[in-house]
Amino acid sequence: MQELKSQFKQIWFVDFEFSVKPGEFPVPICMVAEEYYSRKRLSLWSDQLKACEQAPFDTGKDSLFVAYYSIAEFSCFLQLGWSLPENVIDLFVEFRNQTNGLTLPLGNSLLGALSYFGVDSMEALEKEQMRDLAIRGGPWTAEEKISLLKYCAKDVEALRKLIIRFSKKIHTLSALNRGRYMKAASVIECNGVPIDGEMFKKFSLNWSYLQENIIKEIDAEYGIFDGKTFKTDRWKKWLIEQKISWPELPSGTLDMREETFREMSKKDKKIAPIYELRATLAQMRLSDLAVGQDGRNRASLSTFRSKTGRNQPSSKSFIFGPAVWLRGLIKPKEGFGIAYIDWTQQEVGIAAALSNDERMKSAYSSGDCYLTFAKQAGAVPWNATKASHPHIREQFKACVLAVQYGMGQDSLALRLGQPVSKARELLRLHQEVYKKFWSWSDAALNFYLSEGHIKTPYGWTLHLPRLSYNKVNPRSVRNFPIQATGAELLRLACCYCVENGIRVCAPVHDALLIEAKLEDLDDAVLTTQNAMSVAGEKILEGFKLRTDVKIFRYPERYMDERGSVMWETMVGLLDKPNPPTAYVPIPPMEQYLAV
Amino acid sequence: MTETPQFKDQFDLARIKLSTDYEGLESVKKLITVVPVKKPNAQEFVRVHPSPEMRLQTTTLILKDEGETYLVEKDLWPELLAETAPVCLYTAINRQGVLFLWCVKMPIKTNKQNWTKSTLDAIGAAQKGWIRMQANMSGGYYDIYKASGNLPEPEWPELTFQEIIRIAFRDRFIDSLDHPALKQLRGEV
């Protein structure tokens, strides 16, 4: 604690209890805050919270705010109209960073963290009972209020115990930098993604009808389905007719796994509608999409949940999670526009910068790293263009992507539709041309295996599970610095944007979706691009990453070309002259408690 | 257009920046524990070390079926004339950085001279640039292809020739007539 004590005059441990409906803003129920040095404790019920114009404790530059998954607390701050604290250390994030890659018997929850450090905590059953009490909703009896406040206070006490246990391992500035992102993420979650409410309602009311009829519409050109059943033998016949080679399982049957279908749909556009259709039928319940009464999709970003430190939002409740075609529901309100801004070939740029491979840097900076790779490998002349050598460019592109995703020669051959020997040759060329990169990649793996961890520029760490070396996937480890640095880039860009008043609706892997009034949209795009560029330069030693922009102005809607056929077909079904008769309303959204 | 805002950080982010130069950070050095003794295959571009100190004229025993080459103690050469062949071992490396000893049989049979001669031509060329060689069966010699691209110079490992020989023939050194490889040849195993 010495380092923290020397930097902060006050350290506040804070916990809120609140209820929230899917897609809506949280409703604070109560809050307990306790100061580390003075042990001063504040226990406030919702009416007392609402009476406060700002947080009832110091949140300025000399104070530290400590919470466990603080986005929940900040959502309440925002609802209460309070300014977010200056300095934040989130013990969930720090616990994740200290155990990322290890198997935790009780997971990443507060109870899991306490148990990991051998600290006594409340029983899970007691926690469950309190959650139920909050979910039940008010009015609460005086006794119930006391119970809820006590429960809240126990979490605050747990924070004190926890920070004492692992404060020695926390690098304060790095932790503050991660805490900064939790603030930005809470604002982004509250902003949400604008949804075409009318269309969402139409889809929701007619979901059963659409599911039944979309098969007929899409399948008319394929003839694969029998009623609602996908017939593999018909699929096989169609593939033969189309002369498309499809991977098989060792048993000799077609490999119909979802990931194989997804890979193949990227390779051949004809497959994409059937993939989208299968995804829609298999996974989707429109009622899971968290859309609030104000027509905005708000889902937990689940920050720092993945090993690379990327967000891991629910694939069901987040609009960027379900089938791609559904993203057509994203539509700016009248007078507004949205922009989807992503880093161009981010992973190649990061790999080039981190490894300091001049040839890879030059390929990235050329604007077409795939064709430049082919040129550097001597596969095409130096004056070749995308138009003059499209097929070779595609092969080298597949190879670059294969290296990024850690694919082996078999998977690359599948992606290329070529023999394994061809894939092997391409991968060999990659190793030859980008020798410095491969040497760096080897060193990254060696460092991880010898030192027991590997870190990104700002300290996100992957730990080696000492007792299960055999579970280490070398390709994942090699990929970790690149992916995790990509996550760091996105986090810093989010902070810059939010802190500069840009309305960020969602971070999406290597992109930001922003929203602005039509008259401000161009400026907002420019600011966002600058933010992304500055973030890149700061993290990658001045190396410049480019960004691409797609702008949609009201009344345009967002559209991803992979889902456009499916979207048009769905809308076409709704517009048919004979409307469906069997309406199935969405089930009422259940209130639940997020703590 | 509005002014580009300044993206300010609470503190200088350089203070928390860690190095990702894992090569500089790591305490691991790649050990060369295997040095194949072979001739390059038709697909690989190779270089040969130009220093005369990085080659050796000697005698080896080659078990073709096993694809194994044995170094033979000099004192045994007279007794093993029938089983062994004079060779020259050149230090070579391919584009993937794999170090190997290029084993070239010295010409004895006149009908093989073109194979050997073109091999020696290839070795000469490989001391100056990246080459690959491919058998021309109808001509009875090797075609030699020089890499047309501007390929970087090879990175030779920091090993002496003595060390390379020791690694390459660690388990394949015949120092007595009772060596298992010789017993196998005599049908005693």
pLDDT band at residue B180 under the 50/70/90 scheme = confident
Indicate whether B28 pLDDT > 70: no
Give the integer Cα–Cα distance in Å for A572 and A566. 10
Give the integer Cα–Cα distance in Å for B141 and A225. 61
Indicate whether B150 pLDDT > 80: no
Contacts from A470-476 at CB under 8 Å and sequence distance 24+? A473/A406, A474/A445, A475/A406, A475/A408, A476/A307, A476/A406
Largest CA distance in chain B: 92
- To the nearest whole angstrom, how far is the Cα of B17 from the nearest Cα of chain A? 5
Collect all residues with Cβ–Cβ distance below 8 Å to A331 and sequence separation of at least 6: A194, A195, A196, A199, A552, A554, A555, A556, A557, A558
CB distance A481–B20 less than 8 Å?
yes
Collect all residues with Cβ–Cβ distance below 8 Å to A294 and sequence separation of at least 6: none
Tokens of A392: 């070779």
Q: Is the CB of B188 inside 8 Å of chain A's CB atoms?
A: no
The residue that leads in pLDDT, A490 or A569, is A490
| Beta strand residue intervals within A61-162, DSSP E | 63-67, 88-90
Integer-rounded Cα Rg, in Å, for chain B is: 24
Tokens of A306: 């993945």
* pLDDT given for residue A595 in this prediction: 32
* pLDDT given for residue A587 in this prediction: 38
* pLDDT given for residue A469 in this prediction: 63
* pLDDT given for residue A589 in this prediction: 35
DSSP class of residue A108 equals: T
Range among A168-172, A179-183, B1-5, B142-146 rated most confident: A179-183
* Contacts B20 to A, Cβ<8 Å: 354, 444, 455-457, 481, 485
Residue A367 CB neighbours (<10 A): 11
Indicate whether A548 pLDDT > 60: yes
* pLDDT given for residue A463 in this prediction: 93
Give the integer Cα–Cα distance in Å for A350 and B11. 24
- Cross-strand bridge partners of residue A43: A32
The residue that leads in pLDDT, A585 or A397, is A397
Q: Model ipTM?
A: 0.71
Indicate whether B4 pLDDT > 60: no
Tokens of A130: 């309190």
Indicate whether A449 pLDDT > 70: yes
Collect all residues with Cβ–Cβ distance below 8 Å to A394 and sequence separation of at least 6: A370
- To the nearest whole angstrom, how far is the Cα of B44 from the nearest Cα of chain A? 10
* pLDDT given for residue A337 in this prediction: 98
At residue A555, what are phi and psi to the nearest 5 degrees?
Answer: -95, 20
Give the integer Cα–Cα distance in Å for B178 and A250. 48
* pLDDT given for residue B110 in this prediction: 60
* pLDDT given for residue A591 in this prediction: 33
The residue that leads in pLDDT, A107 or A460, is A460
The continuous run of DSSP H or E covering A508 comes out as: strand A503-508
At residue B29, what are phi and psi to the nearest 5 degrees?
Answer: -120, 140
Give the integer Cα–Cα distance in Å for A344 and A507. 15
Domain boundaries, chain B: 35-185
* pLDDT given for residue A584 in this prediction: 43
Q: Is the CB of B31 inside 8 Å of chain A's CB atoms?
A: no
Comparing CA positions, the residue from A309, A89, A54 lying closest to residue A182 is: A89
List alpha helices for A473-542, DSSP H. 474-499, 521-539
The residue that leads in pLDDT, A442 or A191, is A191
pLDDT band at residue A375 under the 50/70/90 scheme = very high
Residues 471-530 of A with CB under 8 A from B: 481, 485, 492, 496, 499-500, 522-523, 526-527, 530
Return the SS3 of A32: strand
Using CB atoms, which residue from B8, B17, B149 is nearest to A378?
B149
pLDDT band at residue A590 under the 50/70/90 scheme = very low
- Cross-strand bridge partners of residue B103: B89
Half-sphere exposure of B129 (CA within 13 A, CB side): 12
Collect all residues with Cβ–Cβ distance below 8 Å to B128 and sequence separation of at least 6: B50
A161-178 per-position pLDDT tens digit: 999 888 888 899 999 999
Indicate whether A294 pLDDT > 90: yes
* pLDDT given for residue A215 in this prediction: 87
Range among A265-274, A543-552, B74-83 rated most confident: A543-552
* Contacts B11 to A, Cβ<8 Å: 173, 176
The rounded percent of chain B whose pLDDT value lies above 70 is 92
Residue type, A343: W
The rounded percent of chain A whose pLDDT value lies above 90 is 60
* pLDDT given for residue A404 in this prediction: 82
Give the integer Cα–Cα distance in Å for A45 and A30. 4
Using CB atoms, which residue from A442, A447, A458 is nearest to B16?
A458
Q: What's the mean pLDDT in A528-554?
A: 96
A330-355 per-position pLDDT tens digit: 999 999 999 999 999 999 999 999 99
Return the SS3 of A494: helix
- To the nearest whole angstrom, how far is the Cα of A506 from the nearest Cα of chain B? 20
DSSP class of residue A332 equals: P
First-to-last CA distance in chain A? 26
Return the SS3 of A221: coil
* Contacts B149 to A, Cβ<8 Å: 378
Q: What's the mean pLDDT in A396-410?
A: 86
Indicate whether A479 pLDDT > 80: yes
State the average pLDDT for chain A.
89
Q: What's the mean pLDDT in A25-31?
A: 94
Indicate whether A217 pLDDT > 60: yes
Give the integer Cα–Cα distance in Å for A447 and B28. 7
Give the integer Cα–Cα distance in Å for A65 and A46. 20
Name the closest residue on chain A to residue B44, using Cα atoms: A428
* pLDDT given for residue A592 in this prediction: 30
Indicate whether A583 pLDDT > 60: no
Name the closest residue on chain B to residue A435, using Cα atoms: B96
Q: Write down the residue that tokens 């989707």 correspond to.
A: A284
Give the integer Cα–Cα distance in Å for B117 and B107. 8
The 10 Å CB-count burial string (b at 16+, else e) for A14-51 is bbbbbbbbbbbbbebbbbbbbbbeeeeebbbbbeebee
Is residue A574 within 8 Å of A210, Cβ to Cβ? yes
Which of A59, A86, A172, A173 is the mutation pick for testing B, counting most B CBs within 10 A?
A173
Indicate whether A190 pLDDT > 70: yes
The residue that leads in pLDDT, B81 or A533, is A533
Give the integer Cα–Cα distance in Å for B189 and B181. 9
DSSP class of residue A18 equals: E
Q: What's the mean pLDDT in A409-424?
A: 84
CB distance A447–B26 less than 8 Å?
yes
Tokens of A86: 């200056």
Largest CA distance in chain A: 81
What 3 state SS string does chain B have?
CCCCCCCCCCCCHHHHCCCCCHHHHCCCCCCCCCCCEECCCCCCCEEECCCHHHEEEEEEEEECCCCEEEEECHHHHHHHCCCEEEEEEEEEEECCCCEEEEEEECCCCHHHHHHHHHHHHHHHHHCCCCEEEEEECCCCEEEEEECCCCCCCCCCCCCCHHHHHHHHCCCCEECCCCCHHHHHHCCCC
The 10 Å CB-count burial string (b at 16+, else e) for A379-414 is bbeeebeeeebeebbbbbbbbbbbbbebbebebbbb
* pLDDT given for residue B109 in this prediction: 61
β-strands B37-38, B99-105: how paired? parallel
Residue A208 CB neighbours (<10 A): 12
Distances (CA, A) of B6 to A341, A497, A500, A530: 19, 11, 8, 9
Is residue A317 within 8 Å of A195, Cβ to Cβ? no
Is residue B52 within 8 Å of B158, Cβ to Cβ? no
* pLDDT given for residue B2 in this prediction: 46
Integer-rounded Cα Rg, in Å, for chain A is: 26
The residue that leads in pLDDT, A244 or A329, is A329
B47-97 per-position pLDDT tens digit: 999 999 999 999 998 888 788 899 999 888 888 888 888 899 999 998 878
B99-113 per-position pLDDT tens digit: 999 999 887 666 667
Name the closest residue on chain B to residue A88, using Cα atoms: B10
Distances (CA, A) of A238 to A12, A245, A286, A418: 64, 11, 30, 20
At residue B161, what are phi and psi to the nearest 5 degrees?
Answer: -65, -35
